[in-house]
Amino acid sequence: MSQSVIVNLVKCEPLLGKITWAFILALLIIVPIGNLLIPAGNVLHVSTYTVTLLGKYLTYALLALAIDLCWGYLGILSLGHGAFFALGGYAMGMYLTREIGDRGTYGSQLPDFMVFLNWEQLPWFWQGSDTVAWMVLMPLVAPALLALVFGWLCFRSRVSGVYLSIITQAVTLALSLAFYRNEMGFGGNNGLTNFKDILGFSLQADNVRVALFVLSGIAVLATYAFLRSILHSRLGKLVIAVRDAEMRTRFVGFKVEHIKLIVFVLSAMIAGLAGALYVPQVGIINPSEFNPINSIEIIIWVALGGRATLYGAVIGAFAVNYAKSVLTVALPDAWLFILGALFIVVTIFLKEGLAGLIKSKKQQTVHGEVA
């Protein structure tokens, strides 16, 4: 991306978007300094736990950007992006599991769960999972392949609206049930865990934790800029045209199915990247990540922040997950009720989310000054 393009993107970015960028950049500067350079006894020290927590929030923000592209701009309410996130996480988890080598419980080159199940060799789909190429490519390729097959079948059949949403949720549930089975070869109920290294560096080291945090932040900013550039392009205008007037777009000669498929696959790849960055920071990936409730929760993040803005997705992901971190400790039994009430309030009173609320308040202020 050339310097002039970047300058134009910054100039065109709304104020709230610039504030979101500044917030993430500030985190990328302050958190590493606070963790690595300021002593633990100092009040300004940032604990490794906080670094990991903020890194997890950044991966959720990346996942929210994927949903905002698919739902906010393309108009497809996907209740299955949790599956793409989990597939990216499992692809990374497979690499990290192979990195353990013979340091596992049973001292075998096979993963512990395979030894426990009396497997004698790696399944064919684990071949190559110990390579850097796997770590880099498979978290993108696996979700992309699922999205490509699923999208091609649905879009060519012109399945849309609530029917498409229900099908995406059904696929996610089916994958959840499949990954719980031991014979699938992904660790069953326990999933993949007990990771030790990544690229030869200990995952328990503070500097590695900070590096993963910084990488997550860079991924959010780079994806944000990439999506904004796409949305300002001809393809972006077509995406919005498909959302607002699909039949008219079809009648003037555009292949609506192709546009939907391209954006849906891109969105799945972003979700997979988020899952790949999430796993080494939290240290586990299991079938619970496929839970359809997780996909619904992602929708709430974007709805709260404000869809079709990009920055709203980031704001919503941080806001809801920070509230979850606090309230699941203070009010563990009430958190799901609070989340449900939040969704109802946003749906009825804040249809454009917090971003829309701030924008409307700003317009009222401007009109008041003019009057």
Q: Give me the pLDDT at residue 179, please.
A: 96
pLDDT in tens, 234-254: 999 999 999 999 999 999 999
pLDDT attached to residue 340: 86
Structure tokens at 5: 């393009």
Using DSSP's 3-state secondary structure scheme, residue 239 falls into helix
Contacts of 291 (CB under 8 A, 6+ apart): 82, 172, 176
Number of CB atoms found within 10 A of residue 308's CB: 21
- Residue 31's pLDDT is 97
CA atoms within 13 A on the CB side of 141: 8
pLDDT means per 10 residues, the chain with 371 residues, are 60 86 97 96 94 98 98 96 98 96 91 94 95 97 98 95 95 96 94 94 96 98 96 95 95 95 98 98 96 92 94 96 92 86 85 79 58 52
Q: Are 172 and 287 in contact (CB under 8 A)?
A: no
Q: In terms of residue numbers, what domain contains 337?
A: 3-370
pLDDT at residue number 367:
52
Cα separation of 364 and 356, whole Å? 12
Q: What is the pLDDT of residue 74?
A: 96
Our count of domains for the chain comes to 1
DSSP 106: T
Q: State the pLDDT at residue 231.
A: 95
Strand ranges inside 144-229, DSSP E: 192-193, 197-198, 201-202
Residue 269, φ and ψ in degrees, nearest 5: -65, -40
pTM above 0.85, yes or no: yes
Largest Cα span, the chain:
79
